[in-house]
Structure 1
Amino acid sequence: MIASPASGSGKTTVTAALARLYRQAGRRVKVFKCGADFLDPAWLALASGQPADNLDLWLTGEDYCRHALHRAARDNDVVLVEAAMGLFDGAPSAADLAVRFDLPVALVIDASAMAQTFGALVLGLAAYRPPLRIAGAIANKVAGPGHAAMLRESLDPALPFAAIVRGEGLAERHLGLVEPRRTTGDDARLLAVADALHAQQVGDWAPERRFRPQALPPVPRLLEGRRIAVAMDEAFSFVYPANLACLEALGARIETFSPLAHQPLPEADALWLPGGYPEAHAARLAAHPDMARDLRRGLDAGKPVYAECGGMLALCETLADLEGCRHALWGLFPAHAKMGRTLAAIGPQSVDLGHGPLRCHTFHYSRLTTSLPPFAHATPAGREGTGEAVWRQGGLTASYLHAWFAGNPVATAALFGARP
């Protein structure tokens, strides 16, 4: 596991660079992201050459985590897990995951504004939660050799250490990192970090680890023969790979399309509009010549439409971006949305729409007003926060929630028209 004391320390850069390092050595690498994240996995997938899946003891469940880790170890030479936020943040935390599966932890610490305190911080992280195992410490944003020497001297000499000289990080925006396809120059950055890690033998830190198998319950073929259209492009990119796998295990055939490229809505039995960045592309989405009409025809014909977060915003009557420009969107959902500069909601929640609880996560900066009464409200997993509303109108189900389909395939199938 690659972890840090706080967000913004460089975990994703180091994890992606390690994946590149191992790939350059001819090894097959599987990378996981701890927690409910869509953006970091895009970088990790680019670096590793295969999809990066999510692990979370609450959202995905312990059995899924054990199953996924065993399968990854069986099929790959190296398994990396990027932690979420700070190592001990959240309940459950990345540290909980590391302890549960005995994952050695490489610490990545932004050392740009510290010297000997680096050692105290590493010592505190290592001692805070026995039996957590620390594999080594990586100092990020180091000024030069003298600075690196001070940091090294602050540590137990037996603890492996590496330093990354200060440089540009991966580009960010309001939901986190910018998607790889929207950024130039970052591949060279990852290669430079990979070279630095190689020179300091960081790839040799992790010992061999064995995982025991975990069988998962069989998935009923409740969507056998059904075609599900899934919007997938820069405006609708927040898709867990495991969610697509769950739909296929349910028997569905996936048809992806790009509303941003003005591709037509495919002939399908149901539609999924995932989250993403519709506010960054509102004008192009609004200009789609056929989408509003085709969506209306599908709903009138009784076809289910499931819209998550950004997908819901695209269905609103209007969407105001951060500059205050109000765009007339597809108008299938009687609501108006407005982007904000402060976080409106974040955290794990669960919701029961009639077929048992679906575990979900919410993270958004926009706020929505509608006269439509909620069909249901989610329940926050922690003690704080407000449960997100879920709206239903005809075949449309819309919410800010991002659901983890594999946790309840029966409830998932119902979202797309199955009658369990």
Structure 2
Amino acid sequence: MTVTRVECPALFLTAPASNQGKTTITAALARYFTEQGNVVRVFKTGPDYLDPQILAQASKQPVEQLDIWMAGEDYCQQRLFLAAQEADLILVEGAMGMFDGEPSSADLAARFGIPMAIVMDVKGMAQTAAALAAGLASFRSDVDVAGLIANRCGSERHAELIRDALPESLPLLASLKRDEQIVLPERHLGLVQADEVADELEERFSAAVDWLQQSNDCALLSLPKAVTFSASDTETPIEEIEPLLANKTIAVAKDAAFSFIYDANIKALQSLGASIVYFSPLKDNSLPNADALWLPGGYPELHAKALSENLSMRQAIMDFHHTGKAILAECGGLLYSLQSLTDLQEVCYPMTGILAGQGAMRGKRGCQGMQTAALPQGDIRGHAHHRSRSDNTPTPVAFGRRQRHPAPGEAIYQEKGLTATYLHLFFPSNLAATAQVFLPQGAQETLMADAG
């Protein structure tokens, strides 16, 4: 076995909890170093669609997910290795708190030897922030902590109190003042999609770069130490997979209503040999010529009226379904597949009706978590994150398996060529099963028989 190694400066942005400013600071760093002429590759820990959109605009580079459970260690290693070959800096943004989840951000950082910077909102505390940071830094011996980023500092005196209380081994990398100009816009499922506020984001990125440079602690504005990333010749990169979808065209819904699309999923389909075309259920009157459809998640509830009024598109999708060709409908795509959708204002709109049932938004209550989609075609890992419900749907063919709970997860429906579920699937976790989902039923059965 031959192992190839490459070095690249890298830093993992983590925090004691959510809502500490990780995304804002990661985006600010990505834009700062990009403006210095560096190629910055950013990764996001865990299943997230909205943060990567922001980070991609900030870095001007694609952003991919890293998650040991969802994608596997080999996949994460490959993506980091490939990024290190082209990048001057790798940034990884963690999820939730530093040690939250199984596996956690700390597990990922330890596995690949990436030093972590702790982002902490220090409003309302001083020396206690140092104590918390020191406790996080010493909690595990296999985690390398580069220092503390004190976010929302009230003054230089505030920063000084924190700095003086930190142990020598844990420097204050930056003390960042409170500044609402750089806070990223949010809505009910998280950050607003980047495409909707692209110009505003540019203004905030510019303000955020100035914000970083105003810190009296300048260590954060120097490239972090280099990390060695490796790959062996026994691993098969995703780009070299058997093309089970050769000569197939997959039409992907992509617009303001449907945008929860992992770049990794598109690359996975292309690695399987598929050609990708995009269409807008909001604006287009017809479907592109395709062998399969993918209706991903997004915000159909915010655009239910326009989706309902596009009668020609609704009919086109119904006609496509009647042919028996494959359709994958995930979360928002599932809602669009139902007979109707009641939005946040409790107005009911007809949808495509390719799956029996009614969807309705339910305010602040929701469902989220990592699950395995136990499909007849094979297990595909993914996650759920929604604040809606569906009623009067058909009998599911299967349910998701929750990562850490025995109760059944999200329902999975299959009728003719349609696969519909609230789960967002991560295609690289099982490329063979993914290929079968996008093939018509007869071809799926043949492929499954050959695999058996």
The verdict on a shared fold, with TM-score over 0.5 as the criterion, is: yes
Q: Which residue pairs with 1:191 in the alignment?
A: 206
Q: Which residue pairs with 1:176 in the alignment?
A: 190
Q: Which residue pairs with 2:132 in the alignment?
A: 121
List aligned pairs for 1:130-169, cutoff 5 A: 130-161=141-172, 162-168=174-180, 169=183
Amino acid at match of 1:166: R
Counterparts of 2:343 and 2:140 in 1: how far apart (Å)?
A: 43
Matched, 1:220 2:242: yes
Is contact 2:149–2:175 with CA below 8 Å preserved after alignment? yes
How far off its partner does 1:378 sit?
1.4
Which SS does the other structure have where 2:80 is aligned? helix
List aligned pairs for 1:401-412, cutoff 5 A: 401-412=423-434
Counterparts of 2:95 and 2:258 in 1: how far apart (Å)?
A: 22
Is contact 1:317–1:332 with CA below 8 Å preserved after alignment? yes
How far off its partner does 1:385 sit?
5.2
Counterparts of 1:55 and 1:315 in 2: how far apart (Å)?
A: 30
Is contact 2:53–2:194 with CA below 8 Å preserved after alignment? yes
Which SS does the other structure have where 1:131 is aligned? coil
Taking every aligned residue pair, what percent have the same amino acid on both sides?
A: 43
Counterparts of 1:75 and 1:124 in 2: how far apart (Å)?
A: 35
TM-score by length of 1: 0.96
Counterparts of 1:64 and 1:198 in 2: how far apart (Å)?
A: 35
Amino acid at match of 2:178: R
Matched, 1:110 2:124: no
Query: 1:12–1:385: structure 2 CA closer, same or farther, 3 Å change rule?
Result: farther
Counterparts of 1:386 and 1:300 in 2: how far apart (Å)?
A: 30
For the aligned residues, what is the CA RMSD? 1.5
Matched, 1:83 2:101: no
How far off its partner does 1:334 sit?
1.0
Matched, 1:61 2:72: yes
Give CA deviations for 1:376-415 in whole Å, capped at 9, x if unaligned.
1111111265311101122111000111111111110111
Q: Residue 350 of structure 2: which of 323, 328, 343 is its match?
A: 328
TM-score by length of 2: 0.90
Is contact 2:373–2:425 with CA below 8 Å preserved after alignment? no
Q: Which residue pairs with 1:70 in the alignment?
A: 81
Say which is worse superposed, 148-157 or 170-179, in terms of deviation: 148-157
Counterparts of 1:167 and 1:198 in 2: how far apart (Å)?
A: 13
Is contact 1:345–1:385 with CA below 8 Å preserved after alignment? no
Amino acid at match of 1:171: P
Is contact 1:19–1:29 with CA below 8 Å preserved after alignment? yes
Which SS does the other structure have where 1:406 is aligned? helix
Counterparts of 2:376 and 2:328 in 1: how far apart (Å)?
A: 15
Q: Which residue pairs with 1:52 in the alignment?
A: 63
Q: Which residue pairs with 1:43 in the alignment?
A: 54
Query: 1:66–1:412: structure 2 CA closer, same or farther, 3 Å change rule?
Result: same
Which SS does the other structure have where 1:213 is aligned? strand
Counterparts of 1:394 and 1:412 in 2: how far apart (Å)?
A: 17
List aligned pairs for 1:231-380, cutoff 5 A: 231-380=253-402
What 5-or-longer segments of structure 2 have no aligned partner? 1-11, 448-452
Query: 1:385–1:280: structure 2 CA closer, same or farther, 3 Å change rule?
Result: farther
Amino acid at match of 2:74: D
Which SS does the other structure have where 2:241 is aligned? coil
Say which is worse superposed, 56-65 or 174-183, in terms of deviation: 174-183
Counterparts of 2:177 and 2:70 in 1: how far apart (Å)?
A: 36
Is contact 1:299–1:396 with CA below 8 Å preserved after alignment? yes
Amino acid at match of 1:202: L
Say which is worse superposed, 327-336 or 243-252, in terms of deviation: 327-336
How far off its partner does 1:293 sit?
1.1
Say which is worse superposed, 122-131 or 376-385, in terms of deviation: 376-385
Query: 1:23–1:406: structure 2 CA closer, same or farther, 3 Å change rule?
Result: same
Query: 1:87–1:384: structure 2 CA closer, same or farther, 3 Å change rule?
Result: farther
Which SS does the other structure have where 1:109 is aligned? strand
Which SS does the other structure have where 2:311 is aligned? coil
Query: 1:203–1:384: structure 2 CA closer, same or farther, 3 Å change rule?
Result: farther
Counterparts of 2:171 and 2:165 in 1: how far apart (Å)?
A: 12
Amino acid at match of 1:223: L
How far off its partner does 1:291 sit?
1.3
Is contact 2:375–2:398 with CA below 8 Å preserved after alignment? yes
Which SS does the other structure have where 1:197 is aligned? helix
Which SS does the other structure have where 2:42 is aligned? strand
Which SS does the other structure have where 1:387 is aligned? strand
Counterparts of 1:384 and 1:90 in 2: how far apart (Å)?
A: 17
What count of residue pairs does the alignment treat as equivalent? 420
Is contact 2:379–2:430 with CA below 8 Å preserved after alignment? yes
Counterparts of 2:171 and 2:208 in 1: how far apart (Å)?
A: 17
Amino acid at match of 1:260: L
Is contact 1:229–1:266 with CA below 8 Å preserved after alignment? yes
